[in-house]
Amino acid sequence: MKVLVTGGAGFIGSAIVWKLNAAGIQDIIIVDHLAGSEKWKNLVGKRFEDYVEKDKFLSLLDDPSLKNKIDVIIHMGACTSTTETDATYMMENNYVYSKRLAQWALKNRKRFLYASSAATYGSGKDGYSDNDKVTPGLKPLNVYGYSKHAFDLWVLKNRLQKEFVGFKFFNVYGPNESHKDDMRSMVNKGYKQIKETGKIRLFKSHRPDYADGEQKRDFIYVKDTMELVYHFFKNPEMRGIFNIGTGYAQTWNALAEALFAALGKKPNIEYVDMPQSLRDKYQYFTEADLTKLKKAGTKHKFFTLKDAVKDYVGYLENGTYL
């Protein structure tokens, strides 16, 4: 099996490469943009055939020989910043690039698996169903979510959900995310805060129906994520756009308490005002509807929040990667 992994040096992408290697797959081309980041550390120890910078890779799509080097595309590459405001850049990077790869995959009859996002659900007032009939009515709250939504809509418009697999990732956390700066998970940020100050800082709630720290998210460990992606990789007959979460929303307070427990410390939480610029774009509740995922035959047993955080802290304490 010859696999192309875009974003292969990134957070979820490098975890997928790790899983492919563990399954004995090394004929992998990694496409990414390393620049001055420390993403390169996610590649240390990984086994792959080649690395190509993302901008250079598009020019290779015109090379007839490329079709003999790829059987499956796992497209994880994207700008994932929820605070990015350059809509032109976001659409070019997340929508146009994805469409180019998808069109190449169709033309050359290659399998195509890609990353969407739970950010497509916006405020969540219309729920979190990945039913194809629901998707067109979703209203993302930021341009990142919209760029992912736009590609989902293109897939549905062209009825490509019968050919492709899309993954609406919820709040993923775990090893290999340290390069993500402000987009790191609260476990990663909180670990550093606790080590430096003995406390963790969470956003206050600015809605009367949620107490401070009681906002809820569907937190999913990256090891669960890579197992679910690999499940679809192994089962090519399974196609469509699927939620990738645990199906169980938990509070930020619970996440913080799990982190303190993993470090053997008593919880010490400070609540701070949410920046004004985020208040109308903030998701107070996310929870993946897993009906469609379960119908696809997945029987994955998820890490508990406590066990996942404890496992992740082991990597942070030792400075290790997947």
Catalytic residue among 41, 54, 67, 180: 180
Which distant-in-sequence residues (6+ apart) come within 8 Å of 241 by Cβ? 116, 130, 132, 135, 152, 155, 156, 161, 165, 166, 167, 168
Active site residue 144: yes
Catalytic residue among 114, 121, 128, 144: 144
Active site residue 294: no
CB distance 117 to 169 below 8 Å: yes
Determine how many CB atoms are found less than 10 A away from the CB of residue 258: 24
Beta-bridged to residue 230, according to DSSP, are: none
Which distant-in-sequence residues (6+ apart) come within 8 Å of 170 by Cβ? 118, 217, 218, 219, 220, 243, 244, 245, 246, 286, 288
User: Which 3 state secondary structure label does DSSP give 14?
Assistant: helix
How far is 138 from 128, CA to CA, in rounded Å?
Answer: 10
Nearest to 101 by CA among 76, 125, 132: 76
Largest CA distance in the chain: 60
How far is 201 from 270, CA to CA, in rounded Å?
Answer: 5
For residue 197, what is the enclosing H or E element?
helix 186-197
Name the phi and psi angles at 258, rounded to 5: -65, -35
- Please give the angle made by the CA atoms of 171, 288 and 3, to the nearest 5 degrees: 65
List, by residue number, the catalytic residues.
Answer: 144, 180
